[in-house]
Structure 1
């Protein structure tokens, strides 16, 4: 039995903007540490699943480097196990209305808040059009004002 390293998985989910099933299927052999990229196999798409090279943002590479190499997968957990355990942790802590997928939303919003353009965020998130990416964005007018005043 493996202990799920929730701290690492959650931090990676936010930084990478990946779906839980993508995270749990990442293989060491698909990781290019030199270029800071990953091949996400069979990435979700409305009509088909395709492999996609994804740039790793933020602390993703440091989180990966901290993982033990005991398996062909970097995060060798079943996505259902991570999801169910996460729900139990939230229940235990009294946290309501938080889904693991919300970390993807948060990560994508952070990229926009840091000033990345739509096409740049889409390279990380895997979205192929603005219409589907737009529902992940949770920006407020105050966010834009803060960034403008900081210049």
Structure 2
């Protein structure tokens, strides 16, 4: 990475690379300094390319190994697998790593923006950048990481997360009761009463639940850290009403779950996503009076900034408090 500064009427440029000594040159004109810096960076990148006979690794090789060693090793649903499949079908996947450039990634970004939302494209690009980072730093594969990191991310409009009203929640619960499989109804009630993610609910086993101690164990969450979740009276009622006490609590596949939720949402007329229930549940924790550490224990968030993104105070409730308070 080149840095420039003007000193004693001349332009000094310095190039730093991890594990190497900094290289500094001085020029009268800034344009000459920039040209030399670019030439030096290209030469350094070219020297990083290890040869394997007459071939090099391709981006497809990176994505395949990343999926096998990184994605499949952590607890998450199929979204990352889907993104990798999409990227592997793109023409840039066949490019050798030492030829993969920002232009290739930008073309992929622009093509995805024609069929996907900007927020979805951002997730694709972040996954790609992380895969390339792992390939370069852990596997020693030739990646022009510094260049590709400069890719411009699509702008994502920040929208306030609407709270879920009791009537909306009851409508979708009623719609779920009309389905043959009770899995969706159980999942909805567990989500709102425990703050659990969809994947955590689908992986929950009866062996992880201790009704006598009013708690359940999430063995492996999205962030890789297990946590013990206290059971509210609502969660106790839901779990206590179920007849089975062995195997998965919710017996349904991810695909069937998505279809069931889509049908229930359409018939009930609600617009929120299943993950929005986690936002709503965490917001209710604070309205119950739980402290920040107590809410973190339930939600599993490791930092206050993460927790803050899921807490959405009710403006009307706050206005009522202000009205009743004395200044």
Which TM bucket (shorter chain)?
A: 0.7 to 0.9
1:133 aligns with 2:311: no
Going by fraction, where is helix more abundant, 1 or 2?
A: 2
Separation (CA, whole Å) in 1 of partners of 2:315 and 2:268: 32
Q: Structure 2 stretches of 5 or more lacking a match?
A: 1-179
Separation (CA, whole Å) in 2 of partners of 1:92 and 1:145: 34
1:19 aligns with 2:193: no
1:38 touches 1:56 (CA, 8 Å); kept in 2?
A: yes
Separation (CA, whole Å) in 2 of partners of 1:71 and 1:28: 5
**How many residues matched?**
145
Separation (CA, whole Å) in 2 of partners of 1:146 and 1:130: 26
Match of 1:28 among 201, 206, 221: 206
Please state how far the C-alpha of 1:141 moved relative to its aligned partner: 4.2
Please state how far the C-alpha of 1:125 moved relative to its aligned partner: 0.7
1:110 aligns with 2:288: no
Question: Compared with structure 1, are the counterparts of its residues 62 and 140 closer, same or farther at alpha carbon in structure 2 (3 Å cutoff)?
Answer: closer
Tell me the residue number matched to 1:76: 251
Q: Structure 1 stretches of 5 or more lacking a match?
A: none
Please state how far the C-alpha of 1:70 moved relative to its aligned partner: 6.5
1:3 aligns with 2:177: no
- TM-score by length of structure 2 reads 0.41
Tell me the residue number matched to 1:94: 269
1:4 touches 1:82 (CA, 8 Å); kept in 2?
A: no
1:20 touches 1:79 (CA, 8 Å); kept in 2?
A: no
Question: Compared with structure 1, are the counterparts of its residues 31 and 91 closer, same or farther at alpha carbon in structure 2 (3 Å cutoff)?
Answer: same
CA-based RMSD of the aligned residues comes to 2.1
1:59 aligns with 2:234: yes
2:209 touches 2:215 (CA, 8 Å); kept in 1?
A: yes
Mean CA deviation greater in 67-76 or 107-116? 67-76
Tell me the residue number matched to 2:219: 41
Separation (CA, whole Å) in 2 of partners of 1:130 and 1:115: 17
Separation (CA, whole Å) in 2 of partners of 1:90 and 1:142: 26
1:4 touches 1:77 (CA, 8 Å); kept in 2?
A: no
Greater RCO, CA 8 A, separation 6+: 1
Question: Compared with structure 1, are the counterparts of its residues 55 and 70 closer, same or farther at alpha carbon in structure 2 (3 Å cutoff)?
Answer: closer
Q: Which has the larger radius of gyration?
A: 2
Tell me the residue number matched to 1:143: 317
- TM-score by length of structure 1 reads 0.84
